[in-house]
Amino acid sequence: MCEQEPNTKTWIEEKLLPELKNSLNKSNCSVKYEISQPTDSFFMARVIFLNIKFIDCQGRGEDEINLVVKRPPTGRKVYTIMNIDEAFHNEILFYTKYATLYSNIPRLLYASEKPPYDSVIVMENINKQGYSLNLNIHNFQFELVLAAVREIAQFHSNSYIMKELFPKEFYDTVENIKPVRYPPTEDNPGVLKVRAIIPRIIKYLQRQNYEEVFCRKLEKFLYNGYSYATVDLYKPIEPLATLCHGDFTRNNVFFKETVDGIKAKLIDFGMIYYGSPGKDLSLFLHLSGTRIQRTEKFPEIFEAYYGTLLQGLKQKGISNLERFSKDALLEDYKSHAFFGFLIVSIFLPVMLGYFGNDSNVVLKLPSEKICEIYNGIGGEEYTKILVDMVLDLREAGCLVHMMEM
């Protein structure tokens, strides 16, 4: 749920509408508006839907404009834990510097970066274009997975194109991206949550008589897993390093049925980074895909990803395509697939509703309480989900580096 303050109406009338009117060259118009609040997702911002209609000097009304307005949260702990200033900076940077050459995203109408609490991003509401979130929190239908994967492939392809054809603009954007994830210190909530679930995984494997050497190596690896995923796996490796979405999850992919099939659009670019495309793909498949999709169906999913990416590069005349070979991209995915599991171990309990209707509640808890909760949340059912993911990663060759440690 998103936070909403009681004086939203005053803020809209006294601050936002004048800025929007000026930005849209409607300064001489009066305005009628309606506001509502989304309820079908998990937001780390104050989000409202704003529908406005401009009335000109002759009293003639124009078409209604449907907008999404994002503002930073006001809760101090949420604000601090999530590096909100940096996330708003990155999204504004993306829209104003990068997205001018990438069209399949919501159109930006207004943005202002005024930390800590007065930053704002206003974009078109793509719900009104027929796009919507998938109603399933987890385990997407196969057709939706393919649509989402094709869209992230197009996103990565476009980034490679910009990197090749407009290197100055591309690297200027990259240089100005701010890191959103906190360093893996001992008191980092992410570190605490991951370490809290380790005993559950190891004990489950031992009960199933898995080899002791594997269990010992896995336990050691997972203990530093947050650091590995958020430091080592963030390092860009050329030539496949590109601009990545960074938060390619259920909340940030919208779908629309068309005569040509299901189309997808991405939103929320606060966690963009320059690095491995494999992390984006792994994050989505682990948080939103099914086990069958990550195993039996993976070749088909990866083919959809690779085919879309390569087609985009060819259409723009990018040469030396052997840099983007299927084998190279597959190896990139395998070497970064652990990132998806890492985020699952932290965020999937929220998506599965283990915290009830108020998903933000866990962010407000003291560290000791968070560890206590994650040590048992979801019971044996959730433990098995995590264990199955670990074993699938091992089977696919995605934990080879762990065995070499």
pLDDT at 266: 96
pLDDT at 78: 62
Phi-psi region of 318 (alpha: psi -120 to 50; beta: other; left: phi over 0): beta
pLDDT at 357: 58
Task: Give the C-alpha separation, 198 to 129, whole Å.
Answer: 44
Exposure of 101 by Cβ count < 10 A (0-12 exposed, 13-18 middle, 19+ buried)? middle
Class of domain 8-124 as given by CATH: alpha beta
228: number of Cβ within 10 Å: 19
What is the pTM (predicted TM-score) of this model? 0.92
Task: Give the C-alpha separation, 154 to 248, whole Å.
Answer: 13
Closest CA to 51 of 27, 67, 39: 67
pLDDT at 341: 94
Residue 100: CB partners within 8 Å, gap ≥ 6?
none
Task: Give the C-alpha separation, 193 to 188, whole Å.
Answer: 9
Task: Report, in angstroms and rounded to the nearest whole number, the Rg of the chain calculated over CA atoms.
Answer: 22
3-state secondary structure of 210: coil
What length does the chain have?
405
Task: Give the C-alpha separation, 388 to 341, whole Å.
Answer: 10
Q: Which residue has the tokens 């919501």?
A: 106
Task: Give the C-alpha separation, 154 to 367, whole Å.
Answer: 39
pLDDT at 35: 92
pLDDT at 220: 93
Domain assignments of the chain as residue spans, ordered by start: 8-124, 130-403
CA dihedral sign, ordered 247, 386, 351, 365: negative
Run means of pLDDT, 10 residues per run, the chain, 405 residues = 63 92 87 84 78 82 87 71 87 90 88 89 94 86 97 96 94 94 79 92 95 93 92 93 95 94 95 96 95 96 98 95 97 96 88 69 72 87 94 93 64
Beta strands at 108-112 and 120-124: parallel, antiparallel or unpaired: antiparallel
pLDDT at 2: 43
- Specify the CATH number for 130-403; select among 3.90.1200, 1.10.3470, 3.90.1530, 2.10.260: 3.90.1200
Q: How far is CA 402 from CA 134, 199, 276, 295, 336, in A?
A: 35, 18, 19, 20, 12
pLDDT at 4: 46
Strand order in the sheet with 46-55: 30-36, 46-55, 65-71, 120-124, 108-112
Beta bridge partners of 70: 47, 121
